[in-house]
Amino acid sequence: MAETGIVIDPRYLDHDTGRGHPERRERIAVLLDLLDSHPPGLRSLPPRLATPDELALVHDGAYVEDVAATQHLPRYAFDADTPACPKSYETARLAAGGFLALLDAIMTGQVGNGFAFVRPPGHHAERNRAMGFCLFNNVAVGAEYLRRVHKLSRVLIVDWDLHHGNGTQHIFERDPGVLYVSTHQYPYYPGTGNFDEVGRGDGEGYTVNLPFPAGFGDAEFAEAFTTVVEPIAHQFAPEFVLISAGFDAHARDPLGGLEVTEAGFDRMARSLLRIAQQHAGGRCAAILEGGYDLTAIRNSSAVVLDELRAGTAAAVEPAPASRAAPLLERVRRTQSNHWKL
């Protein structure tokens, strides 16, 4: 059985967001402690710095230069939520580059799948704007890298973060080569991600949003995966599955109102691994997004890693109807012009 690659590094602590900021160094510190023993089946992969040209696969070159300029400033705030310190640019390059190192290792067969535990997170970063704690859109850089460098045609991104990944959606909303699926609390920051946002032009239908109200948890996520995410993903037949793995949908998280538990994240991971095995030769990579309760991050990361290490993608039982049924029916009707649901 192929090993599971992990990317984590003490240098991810260098991005200093300041006192009281929820996206803090301890998010990585608690995972460094978890992974210090390197359980059997895990292979540590050293991160590298993404080059400016690699970042420019999805970001405007002038914006990359703007972030680079923060190296020479004692503090800088892109907005009220997104600060930078002199080491933030290099740490953000290491976050994107760490994910690319993992993708290269999977594509070359060094590992079968993996998880990049990086910060700062990325899915809110737009082509030319930092926001929502995010400087560079790590998962979007990775998806475009797979297509440009490894010549893949179809990449699936599933984003289970509490918050909608506006940046990822907007970067690929006109592109039928990337299927973006997001489960998130709505209405909530950043205000995007309603069910009728389905992509534009040639990309129409390749954006799938599942906007959940506060209070939804394991049962509702399970039904969403059974009735919407899995059928669409199987029709898309991805060549690689990427997971924007935010753990702020956890019931313990202080920033939101969803009620997912470790069991819910376990089921979602198993579902996506099964899709990867059936269509992508098992190629699946997760990258850390949000998650601000340290216990929830640690325990949820552990269960997802256990699924990745097992690599068996055991069958996932169909979920019974839940409180999500009316909302999911609305999503299915919206997507019925594009997919057989």
Q: Which residues are catalytically annotated?
A: 124
Instruction: Tell me how far apart the 2 most distant CA atoms of the chain are, in Å.
Output: 55
CB contact at 8 A, 68 and 89 = yes
CB contact at 8 A, 124 and 208 = no
Count the residues in the chain: 341
- Phi and psi at 161, nearest 5°, equal -60, 155
CB contact at 8 A, 159 and 248 = no
CB contact at 8 A, 206 and 178 = yes
- Helix (H) or strand (E) segment spanning residue 301: helix 294-310
CB contact at 8 A, 195 and 341 = no
CB contact at 8 A, 35 and 42 = yes
Sequence letter at residue 71: Q
**Beta strand residue intervals within 72-203, DSSP E:** 76-79, 82-84, 113-116, 155-159, 178-185
> What is the rounded CA–CA span in Å between residue 88 and residue 198?
33
CB contact at 8 A, 236 and 341 = no
The dihedral built from the CA positions of residue 162, 167, 170 and 172, taken in this order, carries a sign that is negative
> What is the rounded CA–CA span in Å between residue 180 and residue 301?
22
> What is the rounded CA–CA span in Å between residue 61 and residue 55?
8
